[in-house]
Amino acid sequence: MHSGLLRDLEKLLGSSSVLFQPEDVLLYEYDGSVEKGRPDMVVFPTTTQEVSQIVKLAAKHIVPIVGRGAGTGLSGGALARTGGVMIVFARMNRILSIDPENQRAVVQPGVVNYDLTLAAEPYGLYFAPDPSSQKSCTIGGNVAENAGGPHTLAYGVTTNHVTALELVLPDGEIVRVGSAQGDALGYDLTGLLVGSEGTLALVTEITVKLSPRPEAVKTLLAVFDSVDDAAETVVDVTARAIIPAACEMLDGWTLRVVEDFVHAGFPRDSAAVLLLEVEGLAEAVAAQAAAITEVCNIHHAREVRLARDNAERELLWKGRKNAFGALGRLAPSNYVLDGVIPRTKLPQTLRHIREVGARYGFDICNIFHAGDGNLHPIVLYDPRDKGQFERAMQASAEIIRYCVEVGGALTGEHGIGMEKSELMPLLFSDADFDLMRRVHDAFNPNCSLNPGKIFPLSKGCGEIRVRSHAQSSPHASSS
């Protein structure tokens, strides 16, 4: 324990805003991943100036810092891998302004994603990126991980909706990058910071784009008796240049559990369903819905349902977004993967996932953003069984390696964090790492911000040591 730093922090924030007892900081050693990393102290600032002062104090005492939102992340990005001070942004949760004429909002990092959409609703606007955890995840966390969600197929992920940031650098300096209208000249530092997982700076204020509510929305549920037919439908929809607002897939194993839990109207006897949504002008939406229905029928869909009203539409999406909680009925824990593949490789990849599950003795559910090839296989296992945990990790690594082999990527939205850092050499060369390291060191030369993340340990900060892998898991959160 760094007693001098603790005294300084309590003097700055008050004792009620500083946690250090083991039973208190224990609560912050988890996120939604299977990783662990316990901080020495947890602090709750309320202003950018307080964040700056905390950072200066930590630098003075040579203690690392980790930023944290709601802890719903799935890659260990918000965990204190080497201890130190964790800055939790829960009390910096104000929507500072909404500018409906220019379709912009300025928010603090602790604002919950869905709360921003609710605040924008009276103006006919909403915040487009919609992770499944949107009712609990924060905008700051979304920025750190460049979060996605079902409707980012048409509208883009978080980086496409952030125009400016206020930052605190590792020496405590406060700077701003970008501009409200998103047309800042020079280097796109906003784009660089979104998705940097808290390794370059701490974000203390975010300017985002708000999107107008579409004139018309149609939600379709396509039911298939074959997983391959559903996967081929996704490939064909893309080939015909039809871009739905969302295109989600659930396999039969998953949808039966979800249906028992949510009663969303998913057919329990099917092999897979596609949940598709089209938005825009009424005439264009009707034409797109008809075109999608035609493609589904070509690929042997048993039926294609159209949600009758908004209540039925919301129920279908409730089924999709509550799927991970439903899986708790099947196993004590689950490990949610996040790999990306070319859409044309979807059928063969799903077959490979089934084969991996059979070989390792696991049920692997599939519920994912099919439209952009962002897979979320879910390995069901019992964390109390050390052998099961180790096999689950092996099976998961094999699936992610296969995604890369077929031309994909390690992550679509959950980030690299602690989870996938050792797999980074599958995609990047030593020269690539050298370039990334130079960028990192320009912002964070002493590796004081979120050490042990993104980079493989052999190519990261020299003082980092591998932690033993967790053998228990918190509840998986979202995708």
Summarised one tens digit per residue, pLDDT across range 309-340 is 999 999 999 999 988 888 888 899 999 999 99
Nearest to 319 by CA among 265, 270, 393, 241: 265
pLDDT at position 182 is 81
Nearest to 365 by CA among 247, 231, 249: 249
18-27 residues labelled b (16+ CB within 10 A) or e (exposed): bbbeeeebee
Out of 306, 325, 344, pick the residue that ends a domain: 325
pLDDT at position 1 is 62
Q: What secondary structure letter does DSSP report for 240?
A: T
- Both tokens of 85, joined, read 């001070």
> From CA 348, how far away is CA 399, in angstroms rounded?
12
339 lies in some domain: yes
pLDDT at position 471 is 38
pLDDT at position 185 is 85
Q: How many CB atoms lie within 10 A of CB 438?
A: 9
Q: Which domain CATH number covers 363?
A: 3.30.70
pLDDT at position 317 is 95
pLDDT at position 461 is 67
305 lies in some domain: yes
Claim to verify: residue 292 and residue 259 sit in the same structural domain:
yes
Q: What secondary structure letter does DSSP report for 123?
A: G
316 lies in some domain: yes
pLDDT at position 458 is 79
Q: Which domain CATH number covers 148?
A: 3.30.465.10
Residue 84 near residue 39 (C-beta atoms within 8 A)? yes
Q: How many domains, in total, are found in the chain?
A: 3
239 lies in some domain: yes
- The number of angstroms, rounded, from the C-alpha of 105 to the middle of its chain's C-alpha atoms is 21
pLDDT at position 167 is 98
**Residue 347 belongs to domain spanning:** 331-405
- Both tokens of 45, joined, read 């600032």
pLDDT at position 470 is 41
138 lies in some domain: yes
**Which stretches of the chain drop beneath a pLDDT of 50?**
462-479
Residue 476 near residue 72 (C-beta atoms within 8 A)? no
pLDDT at position 466 is 37
Out of 196, 212, 228, pick the residue that ends a domain: 212
> From CA 128, how far away is CA 324, in angstroms rounded?
21
Nearest to 383 by CA among 437, 331, 337, 430: 331
Residue 450 near residue 77 (C-beta atoms within 8 A)? yes
Whose tokens are 């039809």? That residue is 242
